[in-house]
Amino acid sequence: MICLVLTIFANIFQTGWTGPNERTFIAVKPDGVQRRLVGEIIRRFEKKGYKLVGLKLLQASEDLLREHYWELRGKPFFSGLIRYMSSGPVVAMVWQGLDVVKMSRKMLGETNPRDSPPGTIRGDYGVEVGRNVVHGSDSVASAQREIALWFRLNELHCWEDSSSHWLYA
C-alpha cells in the first residue's frame, strides 16, 4: 500500500523515491537486443542486489525518443540517435535500490565505450559511442522524469523482496 502511494506520488510530482526505494530507468538499446545482451544486462543488475519493478519490450516511437533525449536536441548526432534508438525493439526497465542511479551509471561505464573500463557493460560489450548498448538515467531527477515517460503506473510493480534483509542492515 505504501509502495503504491509512493509510486503514484513519484509519478505525479516526479519526486518521492529515496534510500533503498530509489529508482532508475535502464534500457537495453536496439543493438543490445540484437546482440542478445538482454539476459547479461539483467543478470548484472539482479546479482548486484537491485529489485526489478518494471520491464517491457517495445519499439519506441520517434516522438517518445525525442522527448526522452530532449536535452540533446541541438547536438549534431541527435537525428542519428533517434534513428538508432527507433530502429528496433528496446527493453525498458525500472530498477530499485540504494544509490541505484549513481551505481548503475558506474555499472554502465562512460558514454563512449572507448573510455569505459573492462568490467562495465559498455566497456565489455561496446566499441563505438553511437552503439553503446544500454541507457541509464544520469540523476534522480532524470530517472523520475524518464520513468514517468516510459511507464504507466500499472506497469510498475510493488512486490515484497524476500532478500531485502540480506541486502540492507
Q: Please identify every residue annotated as catalytic.
A: 135
Give residues in contact with Mg ion (CB under 5 A): 138
Give residues in contact with ligand UDP (CB under 6 A): 72, 77, 81, 111, 129-130, 132, 135, 138
- The site partner of 111 among ligand UDP, Mg ion, none (C-beta below 5 to 8 Å per kind) is ligand UDP
Point out the residue whose Cβ comes nearest to Mg ion. 138
Q: Tell me the CA distances in angstroms from 154 to 4, 27, 140, 157, 158, one per residue in order.
A: 10, 19, 21, 7, 10
Reduce the DSSP state of residue 134 to 3 states and report it.
Answer: strand
What's the start-to-end Cα distance of the chain, in Å? 23
- State phi, psi for 24 to the nearest 5 degrees: -135, 160
Q: Which is nearer to ligand UDP, 46 or 115 (CB)?
A: 115
- The site partner of 132 among ligand UDP, Mg ion, none (C-beta below 5 to 8 Å per kind) is ligand UDP
- The site partner of 55 among Mg ion, ligand UDP, none (C-beta below 5 to 8 Å per kind) is none
Which of 113, 27, 24, 20 lies closest to 65, judged by CA? 27
